[in-house]
Amino acid sequence: MEALTGYREYAENLMRKLLRGYRIYFSSDILNSDGRRLLEDIIRSMIYSKEYHPGLIRSVRRNPSMDNVLKLARILLDEEEIEELLMTGIEGPVRNSTWHYLERE
């Protein structure tokens, strides 16, 4: 069972990388070629970990839009973590730094 857990963790880490690197892997909210390679690694790891959702995986491969990628991300990550990763990917690390938290106080 540990091997299956390892594949799941690997898929989670790759999804974090994909969402954090929004500016690198997406062009106009569609995955570019580098993003598609990363997506295929995520899907492969999900299949190895028995997290296989054939309909969703098929739709993400056909239309790798941000909405479809987020549907896949919700299987692997919590909603709060997804939102934080996207904010970091879009606005940069400074927006989510301690300065952001000081503004609220």
Does 95 or 33 have the greater pLDDT score?
33
The pLDDT of residue 53:
86
Q: Could you tell me which residue, 41 or 52, shows the higher pLDDT?
A: 41
Instruction: Residue 54: give the domain boundaries.
Output: 2-104
Q: Does residue 43 carry a pLDDT above 50? A: yes
> Model pTM?
0.81
* Structural domains of the chain, count: 1
Where do runs of H (alpha helix) occur along the chain? 2-20, 22-25, 33-48, 54-62, 66-76, 79-91, 98-104
Nearest to 21 by CA among 78, 90, 94, 76: 90
Helical pair 66-76 and 54-62, crossing angle rounded to 10 deg: 150
Q: How far is CA 85 from the centre of its chain?
A: 8
